[in-house]
Amino acid sequence: MHTFYAADLAGQTYTLPEDESKHAVRVLRLNVGDAVDLLDGRGGLYMATVADANPKRCQLRITHHETVPPRPYFTHVAVAPTKNLDRMEWFVEKAVEIGVERISFLRCARSERRELKLERLEKIAISALKQSGQAWLPQLDELQDYAAFVASVAPETTFIAHLEAGERTDLAQVAGAGPGCCVLIGPEGDFTPGEISLALSRGIRPVTLGASRLRTETAALAAVFTAQIMLAARR
């Protein structure tokens, strides 16, 4: 079954945007009466049939609707985007497939990427949402300064993964203890000692993701996977 994303869906009919209409009719060869699925990224799942197979404005008629409730916990990863944006695109795709509620992007002292446009990442997130059958599109936050972000989060559910010496707890041991968790992942050169101290001074706890030294995008994905597994297991 072919799936389309329809964030602004309302009523009993929906007209696909022109690019999606062309893809549906010219590439997928959909005809009047063919069944498709729609999702709105807010828990809504819809079954529909093609009412007008126009390659410029393909119209769908809704035949069934159900709402999937959000997960009873949240997974939030805040990561410093890599210089090579392809690696962040890979992370966003895989994180959405696994399941994540929010992804924030941090501008750190050692960040090599100082600016970030979300449009491309949002398209990748939507594509991964459709591919994986998820019902809720995660929130993607604009790039923001590390200090401002740290000041905005709840320390009791936030953890910082860093490579500096010192006592750290395995994320798997603490991720499922609360209603969810937020994990901070630094840039390719890691957080600075000052950034680590700032997080610790606010009550954010240090964690480890294992014995290996991971790339930024790998560490971020490991955090998503670990958090999801532990949070789901303890519900």
135 CA to centre of own chain: 12
| CA atoms of 146 and 136, how far apart (whole Å) | 27
Asked whether the predicted pLDDT for residue 91 surpasses 80, the reply is yes
Angle at 74 between CA 69 and CA 76, to 5 degrees: 135
Contact 176, 230 (CB under 8 A): yes
For 10, residues 6+ apart whose C-beta sits below 8 A from its C-beta are none
List, for residues 172-186, the tens digit of each pLDDT value.
Answer: 999 988 899 999 999
One-letter amino acid identity for 151? A
Contacting residues for 201 by C-beta, under 8 A, at least 6 apart: none
- Angle of helix 216-233 versus helix 85-98 axis, rounded to 10: 10
Q: Which tens digits make up the pLDDT trace of 107-154? A: 999 999 989 999 999 999 999 999 998 899 999 999 999 999 999 999
**Letter for the amino acid at 143?**
L
What DSSP line would sit under 61-82, residue for residue? EEEEEEEPPPPSSEEEEEEPPP
Which residues share a beta bridge with 78?
104, 184
Tens digits of residue pLDDT in 21-77: 999 999 999 999 999 999 999 999 999 999 999 999 999 999 999 999 999 999 999
Reported as a pLDDT band with limits 50, 70 and 90, residue 162 is: very high
Domains of the chain listed by start with CATH number: 3-67 (2.40.240.20), 74-233 (3.40.1280.10)
Token readout for 106 is 């941090």
DSSP 8-state assignment for residue 126: H
CA-based nearest residue to 118, from 90, 144, 138, 143: 143
pLDDT at 235 over 70: no
Q: How many residues does the chain have?
A: 235
In angstroms, how far apart are the furthest CA atoms of the chain? 64
Cα distance between residue 74 and residue 143, in whole Å: 20
Q: Which helix (H) or strand (E) covers residue 159, if one does?
A: strand 158-161
Quote the pTM value: 0.92
